[in-house]
Structure 1
Amino acid sequence: MTQTTEFDWRPFLLRWSGEWSDWSDSRSDDETRSEGDEAARQGRWLGFPPASEERIVAMEKRLGRQMPPSYRQFLKVSDGWQHAGGFVWLLAGTTDARWHDNESGLADMFEEDLDEDAGPDERRDAEIWRRGLQLEVESDATYVLMDPEDVDDDGEWAVYTWAGWRAAPPERYANFAEFMRDMHREFHSLRAHRTEGEPEFANDTTRELDALVEKARLMALRGEWERAGRTLDEAKEYGRPRAVGLGDQIRRLLGQTYMVYFEDVVTDPRYAPELLPSLVAEHAAHSYRDDSTLMFHLRGAGDDVVSSAYATLERVRDGTYRYTAAGPFGEAVERARELARWGDTDGAWRTLMDALPLWQPLGPDHLAPMGWVADPLLGPLLTPDRGRELLSTPRGGQAGEAPARSAGLDADNLTWLADPDAHDNLTSYRFVLVEGVAPEDLPGRLADGDEAALDDPMTSDEARRRSLGGQREFSSYDDRALMSVGRAGDRWSFAFDGDPAHFDPRRFVSPAAAAAAAATAAGAGARAVVVWSGLRTWRGNPFFHLSVARDGAERYAFTYADAEIHRTGEIPRALDPDRFFGSGSGKVEGEGHAEAERSLLEAVTGEFGVHLPRHAITNGRLHTFTSRSWTRAPGNGETYAVISLNLVRE
């Protein structure tokens, strides 16, 4: 809620004047002061004598408008003001306030930038220069106008400020009192950032705010991050040390990265191991190998911190950065990473959260574990909801109420694959599910030679770029799939391809039998399930394939393609394709394909008790490998094309 008619001007202005006078006294003796500044310093008053009611009425008669309440009350305490913030040296009182009437020509400039679709805010930015009441008398190319057409229910006029050197649209304040409060904050902020050798800027306001920052730190550790964030934001506006560094930690865990640099704290060797990775990872995501800006955010850092920053940057870029932490929380980090690398991102998150109350900060300016957001496996766990859960969890030796758990991101089924928003291009996909086999053993069943090994965890896009970057030969018959692997439920593993090649039922060879070739350690034959869906694909006609194998032999399968069903073996009733596509050809059309896909995936889930981890597949990093071809070798008389690429270096 904004300050309006109830604002108590006199104590506020007296405090501001005293702070300015004390600061002025601390400046070196050889600095010259204007006559007005010297009088203000000695009298400890930046204002002027109060304006009488008669003077205010005469002003209103001259201007033809009654002044808004907060400005009127201000005039009754001081008829004008000196040094409003850092760039307005004199504000108007009853004599100097006047209609701007586009004296600056800025209305024309803003109107030239308007297009036909300009909204009310953009048009207002142009119109205030014609109708606004000008309040600045002397300034550093800064304009202060009150808008008589932007009025609230209390009769307050909005205040707008603009300076060309700020390269921003006019800034709006709800009323004059709000504007003056912000100018007081600006005065403090400019004084707080002192140069070397300049005395400390300290007064009752700074001491009160610094005490509030410390209280906010403890609130944040108790899980009261929203209250803490509001307090830190207020202290930040006054330029108080610690406020930005602490507040940035809250903002980063909420998923906010813009202008989050952990000011001052990140260059402290105590906190660098936790804060540098997050700063560096964001830099790496947007720098395109131009690292010149990194040092700007590390100005003032020692050589050790700078060296650590560049070493961390290299590890983040090549995917080898690994977050570590001390104590029981550090042990949980290792367990969480192991879960995440096989796709159990929900389990990984719960592991971290269960151990979070045992986490200890590295010092008084550390609010939460931060370095994990740059870890290639743990970083994708973060969502805004999960960030709020983390921040709401008491930690660092502080007691508080445990928060409600954030919802899991992975349903215990396969049906999410049928959601239109499941993935940008997930209209066709294929996967292999194998029972009783660990994920790391899948390449041995589905690939040959050097390809029967897992690559490091990476996103699907990263894996695809890496695979294509090393490929020099492309065959129209070859269909080797780039598969991501992980766990698909109790005793099941998966290999998933979200960008398969064109499905040709004449050449397709299911990998189910090969995946189920060996027996498990317990002696029972392994089962394997293969699904290839293109019921929503834009490449060719809709299709769906399911095959199930055990002990190295395919037991049953069906393929729906070209509006016909082809089946082999004894298919369980729950998976009978007639239930989804009808007993005759051409029974399913349009939206029926999407419903058939969802129903089929639900049936496979129920028949085998399996699931695929949505968040890990679409947002996380998983191990990958390249499978054998999903198509048979060409037969006699069948032609195909092979394209070979030869790189020539000059």
Structure 2
Amino acid sequence: MRSAEGSSAPGPRTVEQWRAYLADYSADILRVAEDGEPSGVSDEQRAAGWLGYEGASAEQLAELEQRLGTRLPPSYRTFLGASDGWLHLSSFMWEMRTAGTVAWQTETDAGLHGFSDGAEKAILERALLISAHGDEQYWLLDPEDVSENEEWAAYLWASWIPGLGERHASFAELVLAERASFEQLAGYDGRGVHPEGVEEFLAQGRAQALRGEAEQAIDSFARAAVKGAGAGMYLKTILSAFLDLRSVHHEIRNQVLGHDHVVAEVGADLVLAEAVPLYLRRTVEEHEQYGRGAGIAGGDYLTRLVPELSFSVQESKSVEESRNEWFERAAAHVSPTLPEPPAFQQALDRARVLVALDRADEAWSVIEAAVPHWHSGNPNRIAPVVLLTDPLLRHVITPDRARLVVTTLRGLNDA
């Protein structure tokens, strides 16, 4: 099968281009690596800033193609010519095969035979396996999905992805995608590969957020997060809560509470007042809806922030009793309020009274009129999260209303 895609494929194409690209990539990996990382790299490789080896010779490549019975796709062939094998080509791929060990997948012990049905099974059965050791991951090339410039489609199989992963038009495109993923993961850990320009992205995102340009602001904050900004990660997550509270539960757990640099950068008090109540709300709602949730242990993330939440649960207690006790303790350690501008605070007070009188629509009208007057002197507060966490008001804020809050111009100062 020949595909029209990839006629002007991006990424390195020649041996010289691969050498330059891989040298730059190696430098990035080694610069942000923590002590002892990446593993398996020799002292000579570290000193040279090169996570690969000598390139495969023309004779070695010819022998490989004769053994396989086909000519290799250009970007993969020139990659081997630049380095015969490689270490840590992505965050989860630790070693690539060499010209002497590349083989058809069915002739290896990878254990992927018959993993999928239909089209994916056919790809697996004909694929070329080019990776060696990874974190439950394999890299594959499809010899029957070929572009006009002779590139083979590339796939990444991983135990955590159902079936085959995203199709890439070439080996080079797969490498580009995995390098972008490496930069994202490193940035999310607070080790930005290219931190330059991070303050500009944060400033841009804050301005966009207050103008009501929520999606654009989220993109700016995400770019700052990739550059290592904990504030970017936090602001992206908080703003996303107004657009889709369901998914943000997991983002708060993994990207805010799970990263110490995020909490340190924005301040534990703010996290306790905004992110933690959002997290607890969604945890309870998921449990009520699906009969599951973070349970007592959502605690692992929170107890690092609030050690008082770590306690033993007696075996005599039911799971439900234990969960309820844990949430009671959690709620007691969450800051209930943050200072609000006077006009907005008055609107909140009035809205709470209306809700208590069962006049929810009127309460929303009061809130809606006050949203443009919301502002904060804290650069890491960009929206009135209290509307999503207040025990009374959160029932007034439907998904459409939550979106309206963050797509409304905010920051009109009443002073």
TM-score relative to the length of structure 1: 0.48
Q: Give the match's secondary structure for 2:143.
A: strand
Q: C-alpha distance in 1, partners of 2:363/2:178?
A: 47
Aligned to 2:105: 100
**1:366 matched to 2:359:** no
Aligned to 1:14: 23
Is the CA contact (8 Å cut-off) linking 1:189 and 1:240 kept in structure 2? no
Is the CA contact (8 Å cut-off) linking 2:30 and 2:38 kept in structure 1? no
Larger deviation: 374-383 or 277-286?
374-383
Aligned to 2:168: 174
The match for 1:44 among 33, 41, 49 is 49
Greater fraction strand: 1
Give structure 1 regions of 4+ aligned residues with deviation exceeding 6 angstroms.
Answer: 1-4, 51-58, 152-155, 304-309, 321-324
**What is the identity, as a one-letter code, of the residue corresponding to 1:327?**
P
Q: In the superposition, relative to structure 1, how do residues 217 and 290 fare at CA in structure 2: closer, same or farther (>3 Å)?
A: closer
Could you list the per-position Cα deviations for residues 627-650 of structure 1 after superposition, in whole angstroms to 9, with x for gaps in the alignment?
xxxxxxxxxxxxxxxxxxxxxxxx
Aligned to 2:9: 5
Q: Report deviation, 1:68.
A: 4.6
Q: C-alpha distance in 2, partners of 1:74/1:231?
A: 34
**Structure 2 residue ranges without an equivalent (≥5):** 311-324
Larger deviation: 166-175 or 303-312?
303-312
Q: Give the match's secondary structure for 1:81.
A: coil
Q: C-alpha distance in 2, partners of 1:32/1:247?
A: 29
Q: Report deviation, 1:100.
A: 0.8
**1:379 matched to 2:372:** no
The match for 1:248 among 237, 255, 262 is 237
Q: Report deviation, 1:130.
A: 1.1
Q: C-alpha distance in 1, partners of 2:210/2:96?
A: 43
Q: In the superposition, relative to structure 1, how do residues 144 and 184 fare at CA in structure 2: closer, same or farther (>3 Å)?
A: same
Aligned to 2:301: 297
Q: C-alpha distance in 2, partners of 1:2/1:372?
A: 48
Q: C-alpha distance in 2, partners of 1:37/1:124?
A: 41
**What is the identity, as a one-letter code, of the residue corresponding to 1:395?**
R
Q: C-alpha distance in 1, partners of 2:382/2:343?
A: 17
Could you list the per-position Cα deviations for residues 377-422 of structure 1 after superposition, in whole angstroms to 9, with x for gaps in the alignment?
4323434443333222233479xxxxxxxxxxxxxxxxxxxxxxxx
Could you list the per-position Cα deviations for residues 240-283 of structure 1 after superposition, in whole angstroms to 9, with x for gaps in the alignment?
53343222212211124231316145771134223332211112
Aligned to 1:223: 212
1:487-502 map, 5 Å:
none
The match for 1:27 among 27, 35, 43 is 35
Larger deviation: 283-292 or 372-381?
283-292
**What is the identity, as a one-letter code, of the residue corresponding to 1:135?**
I
**1:138 matched to 2:133:** yes
**What is the identity, as a one-letter code, of the residue corresponding to 2:394?**
G
1:509-524 map, 5 Å:
none
**What is the identity, as a one-letter code, of the residue corresponding to 2:387?**
W
Q: Report deviation, 1:359.
A: 1.7
1:163-562 map, 5 Å:
163-164=158-159, 166=160, 168-175=162-169, 176-188=171-183, 201=191, 205-208=194-197, 211-233=200-222, 241-258=230-247, 259-261=250-252, 263-264=256-257, 268-287=268-287, 291-303=295-307, 310=328, 313=331, 325-341=340-356, 345-361=360-376, 363-396=378-411
Is the CA contact (8 Å cut-off) linking 1:253 and 1:388 kept in structure 2? yes
Q: Give the match's secondary structure for 1:161.
A: strand
Q: Which has the higher contact order (CA 8 A, sep 6+)?
A: 2
Is the CA contact (8 Å cut-off) linking 1:339 and 1:347 kept in structure 2? yes
Q: C-alpha distance in 2, partners of 1:209/1:87?
A: 26
Task: Say what the alpha-carbon RMSD is for the aligned residues.
Answer: 4.4
Greater fraction helix: 2
Q: Give the match's secondary structure for 1:364.
A: coil
Q: In the superposition, relative to structure 1, how do residues 33 and 250 fare at CA in structure 2: closer, same or farther (>3 Å)?
A: closer
Q: Report deviation, 1:145.
A: 1.1
Aligned residues: 373
Q: Report deviation, 1:295.
A: 1.6
TM-score relative to the length of structure 2: 0.70
Could you list the per-position Cα deviations for residues 421-447 of structure 1 after superposition, in whole angstroms to 9, with x for gaps in the alignment?
xxxxxxxxxxxxxxxxxxxxxxxxxxx
Q: C-alpha distance in 2, partners of 1:360/1:52?
A: 64
Q: In the superposition, relative to structure 1, how do residues 223 and 92 fare at CA in structure 2: closer, same or farther (>3 Å)?
A: farther
**1:162 matched to 2:162:** no
**What is the identity, as a one-letter code, of the residue corresponding to 2:269?**
P
Q: C-alpha distance in 1, partners of 2:39/2:395?
A: 57
Q: Give the match's secondary structure for 1:277.
A: helix
Q: Give the match's secondary structure for 2:230.
A: coil
**Structure 1 residue ranges without an equivalent (≥5):** 112-121, 195-199, 399-650
Aligned to 1:126: 121
**What is the identity, as a one-letter code, of the residue corresponding to 2:286?**
H
1:578-617 map, 5 Å:
none
The match for 1:91 among 84, 96, 99 is 96
